[in-house]
Amino acid sequence: MTKSTDDLMKILKNTSDIDSYIEENTEDMTDGNFSQYIANLLVETDLTIAKVARRGQFSDSYLYKINEDRKTNISRDKVIQICFGFGLDAEGSRKLLRAARVGELYPRIRRDSIILFCLEKHIDVIECDKKLEAVGEKKLLRE
């Protein structure tokens, strides 16, 4: 992918033919398949499902189901846990959250800011939960 989202939006606003737009920009677009995004990320990071699950503090069977496209209704907090599992920074997490279509982290929201900080500083999900709890925000992990 070479064009930014902003670039694509500018091109889209100025196009008169959607078919030409899609043909000319296909390589810069995603098909929105979250399981494929996860599969690609596993290859890119050279991580196993078990390691991602362990680092994100969720069961590996959950990620296997996503990877096999058997689990499609995924909560935003679970996707954030997956971000921690992959060790993604804020930008990588933004892309994963967007691929999952669950809403990006927003730095104007206190809880999201704490999560973004932890992702950017590569603080693990357990420590992130401690930071969230310390300021009275909802934790990522279930009790």
If you average pLDDT over every residue of the chain, what do you get?
Answer: 91
Task: Give the sign of the dihedral formed by CA 107, CA 112, CA 114, CA 119.
Answer: negative
- pLDDT score recorded for residue 31: 61
Q: How much of the chain, in percent, has pLDDT values that exceed 70? A: 97
Half-sphere exposure of 57 toward its Cβ, with a 13 Å CA cutoff?
15
CA 40 to chain centre: 13
Q: pLDDT tens digits for 59-68? A: 999 998 988 8
Q: How many CB atoms lie within 10 A of CB 17?
A: 9
Q: pLDDT tens digits for 102-121? A: 999 999 999 999 999 999 99
3-state secondary structure of 107: coil
The letter for the amino acid at 20 is S
Query: Which of 119, 59, 118 has its CA nearest to residue 88?
Result: 119
Tell me the mean pLDDT in the region 71-93.
94
- pLDDT score recorded for residue 36: 86
Assigned token pair, 140: 């990522």
Largest CA distance in the chain: 53
Q: What is the pTM of this model?
A: 0.79
Gap between the Cα atoms of 93 and 116, Å rounded: 9
Residue with tokens 């296997």: 64
Assigned token pair, 21: 């737009």
